[in-house]
Amino acid sequence: MTRAEPDAGAFVAIAEGLARLDQRLSILQAGFLAAAHLGIAHDSRSFSRLLGIEHALVLREITALSEAGDLLEVTRRNARTMRSFFAPGAAGERLLAAVAKDCKHVHSVARRSCEDA
């Protein structure tokens, strides 16, 4: 069984929507929430590999976001590899719900993907 390719349009639409709603979020930080929401990645190593971003940068941004409030929760860390598993926190879930309501501003395929998410 092969894994379905992630929906890039939905990922971008949700990440951009999150960054637009909460301007404290970098687009990378918004990407963590979008990736977890869409089931694309739930850990730093997978996110890093899928998006071609250095793992150290991903780890720094996950740490910064998880320490800034309850937008992102680190659920587990591997002490040896530094791999961090994450999920949206309560504030992250509220932002994701607001983005779903805001989908009317997203265009074409991304809108359809966003509405399905």
The confidence band for 116, taking pLDDT boundaries of 50, 70 and 90, is low
Model pTM? 0.83
Contacts of 93 (CB under 8 A, 6+ apart): none
pLDDT digits (tens, 9 = 90+) for 15-46: 999 999 999 999 999 999 999 999 999 999 99
Looking at the structure, give the CATH architecture of the domain made up of residues 8-116.
Orthogonal Bundle (1.10)
Environment class of residue 101 by beta-carbon count within 10 Å: exposed (0-12), middle (13-18) or buried (19+)? exposed
What is the separation, in whole angstroms, between the first and last Cα of the chain?
23
Find the length of the chain.
117
Q: Among 91, 99, 93, 92, which residue's Cα sits nearest to residue 116?
A: 99
